[in-house]
Every structure is written in C-alpha cells, then in structure tokens.
Amino acid sequence: MSLILFDFDGVLADTLADMLRFAQQVCDELGVNHTVVQTDLSELEVMSFATFGRACETPEDLVDEFVRRCTEKFAEKESPPAIFDGLGEVMRKLAGRHWLAVVTGNTGGNVRAFLEQHGLSGCVRAVYGVDLPGTKLEKILMAKGQFAAEGEAVFMVGDSLSDIRAAREAGVKTIAVSWGHQSLDKLIEAQPDHVVHSPGELVEIIG
C-alpha cells in the first residue's frame, strides 16, 4: 500500500478558466489595474492564490483579501469544477489499494464539495487545504506522518514547480502531470521522478 497525495487545481479539478476569470473579477473589485492572462498563473515559481495575486500586481496589503475573495468565488459557484477526463475512474481504482489525500492551496470546503459532486468522497482520506496552517511541505509531512507506515512509498501528484520541490524536500516521489496549470517545460525544471500525460499512467506508475 502507498500514500498518494494529489494537488487539486490543475491536477484533479479543471479550474484554469475559473481561476483566470475570478482573478480578473477580484482585481476589478479591489481597484487593481491589471488584465489577467494565463502566463500570470503558468509562470509562477510557487503556485498559490497569494503568489497569483502578486503576479496580477495586487498590492501586498491586499494579497490576503485577493486570496479570500478568489476562494469565496469558487465556493459560491453553482456547481464545483469539472474533473479531468478519466481521473474519477483512476482515483477509484487507486483508492481500492492505496491511501489517497489532497494537499492544496484551495480551501478544504471547496475540495470536499468537488469530491462529493464527482462521487469521490469515499476515496480520499484527508484534505489539507489553505485553511489549515502550514506550508505545502509541512502538509505533505503531516499526511506522510498520519497515513504512511515506515518504508511505504509516498507519491505527490502535482502540476507546479512548488508541488515537485516541496515533495522532494519531504522525501516523497514526484509525479508531474502535463494537463495542469504550468507548462511541461516549466515542470521539467523541477526534475520530477515521473511525468504523465494521461490519468491512466498514474495506475501504471503506482501499481
């Protein structure tokens, strides 16, 4: 049995269009004169709503408010975001043999609503969201301590440089997905252990 940690935005949930739209709405609400473009997100070294806000030229004293308003807009959507094709089936298959958890810069509530909408609540043991204190590294270590026995393999499935770097620092095997928010060229800079181009490849790698 292994522990498999998933990032949320760009890995499980197809949130790119929502993130760009909500960021523009929040910039407009806060009086930030910036036109949000995809590279504001895709070129980030650290993938989070806070760093996204800074890339959108949000003044530092308004970054926390940018984060709060963006996550609120996700929560207020009539329905949670779509799941990437094939991932639901893959998660159910993996959950039959392994522990699954989510480590994310989004809120736990938004992730749980998404999991419930897509019939995956029973597959995921824990969600470590932005509403819990700690860095991504600390949350990976927390999950590892809670669910991984000595000697068991732990994988982090992410779509950003910061996912891969935090996982490596935690001593976790890294799987980068090419369908997420960052470009493949950017991801390869972090030298992940594996790169996958379709959800089914996760089953092949993890076994």
pLDDT tens series, the chain, 207 aa: 899 999 999 999 999 999 999 999 999 999 999 999 999 998 888 888 999 999 999 999 999 999 999 999 988 988 889 999 999 999 999 999 999 999 998 999 999 999 999 999 999 999 999 999 999 999 999 999 999 988 889 999 999 998 999 999 999 999 999 999 888 888 898 899 999 999 999 999 997
The residue extents of the domains of the chain are 3-13+83-206, 16-76
Q: What is the rounded distance in angstroms from the CA atom of residue 50 to the CA atom of residue 61?
A: 11
Fold of the domain built from segment(s) 3-13+83-206: Rossmann fold (3.40.50)
DSSP 191: -
Q: What is the pTM of this model?
A: 0.88
Q: What is the model's pLDDT at position 164?
A: 94
Q: What is the model's pLDDT at position 44?
A: 87
Q: What is the model's pLDDT at position 204?
A: 93
Q: What is the rounded distance in angstroms from the CA atom of residue 124 to the CA atom of residue 12?
A: 12
**Strands across the sheet containing 3-6:** 126-128, 99-103, 3-6, 154-158, 173-177, 194-196
CA 192 vs CA 31, 50, 139, 147, 164: distances in Å:
39, 24, 19, 22, 6
Structure tokens at 200: 């089914």
Q: What is the model's pLDDT at position 158?
A: 95
Structure tokens at 65: 């408010």
Helical packing angle, 16-30 and 63-76, nearest 10°: 130
The answer to whether the beta carbons of residues 49 and 70 sit under 8 Å apart is: yes
